[in-house]
Amino acid sequence: MKLHISTLITTILLSLSFVSIVESTQPPFSCDSLNPQTKSLKFCQTGLPISVRVQDLVSRLTLDEKISQLVNSAPAIPRLGIPAYEWWSESLHGVGSAGKGIFFNGSIAGATSFPQVILTAATFDENLWYRIGQVIGVEARGVYNAGQAIGMTFWAPNINIFRDPRWGRGQETPGEDPIMTGKYAIRYVRGVQGDSFNGGQLKKGHLQASACCKHFTAYDLDQWKNLDRFSFNAIVTPQDMADTFQPPFQDCIQKAQASGIMCSYNSVNGIPSCANYNLLTKTARQQWGFHGYITSDCDAVQVMHDNHRYGNTPEDSTAFALKAGMDIDCGDYLKKYTKSAVMKKKVSQVHIDRALHNLFSIRMRLGLFNGDPRKQLYGNISPSLVCAPQHQELALEAARNGIVLLKNTGKLLPLSKAKTNSLAVIGHNANNAYILRGNYDGPPCKYIEILKALVGYAKSVQYQQGCNAANCTSADINQAVNIARNADYVVLVMGLDQTQEREQFDRDDLVLPGQQENLINSVAKAAKKPVILVILSGGPVDISFAKYNPKIGSILWAGYPGEAGGIALAEIIFGEHNPGGKLPVTWYPQAFVKIPMTDMRMRPDPKTGYPGRTYRFYKGPKVYEFGYGLSYTTYSYGFHSATPNTIQLNQLSSVKTVENSDSIRYTSVDEIGSDNCEKAKFSAHVSVENSGEMDGKHPVLLFVKQDKARNGSPIKQLVGFQSVSLKSGENSKLVFEISPCEHLSSANEDGLMMIEEGSRYLVVGDAEHPINIMM
């Protein structure tokens, strides 16, 4: 899959007669106003609509030139002054180095490295997500303005549902809830692309940077046992597709206005995603109104032919992808086989022209065909903003507010700096800053190991690695026990790393690897006081042994907390910050691994004992629930009388109801219609009080639940969340807008969203409020 950049650089140099690179730090661009030939090119006339400009550009290209632009490393077209362009760049949790469009080899050597997405998601803070997106977009443009980028299209966010706890890439996602994942996509994409928090403010569609939602769709298996993502056929019911897998992508397209989406490696119900016309064209473009480009995952078209056997010849697979609506191939398959597919009349130039129209439209929206970028909309974004102090402070804020306190028996935490004379720090993850970054990372602005961050908080700090590595095939338990026995307090920094969970590597087990559990229990038994356990991981871990061990007093989950994660953990352990994060995924017991990863069903099946998946449907034991997280203070919740008890959908004159076999009346969201859905919205009024002794910030999560979930309805569903900061003794009133069509509906077996009559409960913490839907 590795594509070489040397040919791109050579092509850029060959095209200098038309492409302006004024100095070594000047990014390449088209349509230089100083070049007299620019005036004769209609596609350079910025006063014309982009659609007209693109049509002119495409009409000037030969077939060979057209085909050359259908791959991620698009070469220059010197005779038209079109520079080389790299479509593949990454920005999952900061401008990264995993793609081919960004170079950290000049005056900019790194970018702000935020926590891995799964930890940022644990903040449940939409404003934070948006600000992170803003910083990533600004820093991306800053890198471009410094001449260290040949692309401004970034293949993030990953908004697949974290369906199975073993998935190696679950760490890249916002978690298991589709509504929350959709909200993350909206805020991140708007921030990156230069839109406002509420959207609709892009100036004439111009993009600060281009965001791409991936992987479309039902992609959540990489390498499990003998099956890999390249050959996996995900069998998904219409019901699960409608209310689990598709909603985040619909939000990304309709609400976030993302300029790109990526089709995935896997097949869905027998059709490879990148060859699925119903998915790419009918659903994304026609039903949802997508106006952007669609890229394959890298080499997915070749995978379609070689692994899925979809297409007898390479030309067949090429034609299937282009006719389905895919615009660009990350790889070189289309470069090799599109011309022969045209010659064999398997695909027409109409499909190629459509793809090019979508591709060049994005490059024009990025301002890359508007002349000198220093004089354009985003030309004043200085490279000095990359790694700006306020950006690094935001990375610290994200880590602080994402870290989750899972256990705190006897208020062991926070420790007192004044009373902690000696501290033992034990664990393979304590003295390795690289581990904090997660995958799809880039060089950070700066970083500090957890061990070094803790050193300033105690008079004496001793360190022992304990395990040889995350797999912990060997452990120096005796040495660890010795330093633990003599310390006032012990902090164990354990868990996983990218050798245990990553792209193309799913886990087989949910327990800690190797001898980690033995090491932790031995140290806890020897220590003077209960120990503090810090778990680094992207996916859930079955730490039931620690949850119920009285000698393990406190547990913190820190995900992969980014460049500032070490500082954030030290501040939390010593009480300079009050943790407030909540788990964005269910933590399952080890027994869950008996369920095949390949079983895509979300709903339980009582006949076979299949327990279902995620907090919305799972009927089985849990180590920790979705939304769980403690604090150093105490919060209480209540519903105001202003929250209605009855929702009268029967007053909407056009609503038609049907009675099912259980004599329960229901209606479809489509029958209600968008206008009536808007009228049916109501507000839930919630009071929150900090009745503890410490100031704190935490997310307030509002759920709706049913006593008995019928017809595959969720047991419980998140309907809203808001982050609130409260001083000790302070209270606040929050208002949540609830849409019955969105929040109180669920999909039937045909994939239609339905609302049933009857009672439900709104739930915040221990507080419940009954509501009754009448039809």
Q: Which are the catalytic amino acids?
A: 297
The one-character DSSP state at 94 is B
Q: Position 450: which residue type?
A: I
CA distances from 644 to 523, 681, 731 (A): 53, 11, 22
SS3 326: coil
Q: Write out the two tokens for 332.
A: 């070189």
SS3 6: helix
- 63 neighbors 351 (Cβ within 8 angstroms): no
Q: Write out the two tokens for 355.
A: 């793809």
Give dist(CA 138, CA 95) in Å, integer: 10
- Residue 605: phi, psi to the nearest 5? -125, 95
Give dist(CA 359, CA 30) in Å, integer: 15
- 11 neighbors 77 (Cβ within 8 angstroms): no
Q: Write out the two tokens for 58.
A: 């495409």
- Residue 353: phi, psi to the nearest 5? -65, -40
- Residue 89: phi, psi to the nearest 5? -135, 160
CA distances from 430 to 425, 435, 751 (A): 7, 9, 47
Q: Is the torsion defined by CA of 246, 251, 254, 259 positive or negative? A: negative
- 177 neighbors 162 (Cβ within 8 angstroms): no
Give dist(CA 444, CA 442) in Å, integer: 6
Degrees (nearest 5) of the Cα angle 173, 179, 182? 55
* Alpha carbon 293 to its chain's center: 19
Q: Write out the two tokens for 447.
A: 């970083």
Strand partners, 764: 767
Run of H or E residues at 68: helix 63-68
Place of tokens 């994660």: 565
Give dist(CA 656, CA 358) in Å, integer: 41
Burial class (CB in 10 A: 0-12, 13-18, 19+), 339: middle
Place of tokens 């105490």: 634
Give dist(CA 115, CA 445) in Å, integer: 13
Q: Are strands 682-690 and 665-668 parallel, antiparallel or unpaired?
A: unpaired
CA distances from 307 to 265, 268, 304, 333, 596 (A): 10, 14, 6, 14, 21
For 379-533, where are the alpha helices, taking DSSP H only? 389-402, 450-455, 477-485, 516-526
- 254 neighbors 289 (Cβ within 8 angstroms): yes
Give dist(CA 239, CA 751) in Å, integer: 4
Give dist(CA 176, CA 161) in Å, integer: 5
* Alpha carbon 643 to its chain's center: 33
For 370-449, where are the alpha helices, taking DSSP H only? 389-402
Give dist(CA 572, CA 694) in Å, integer: 13
Smallest CA-to-CA distance from 411 within 529, 544, 522, 542 is with 529
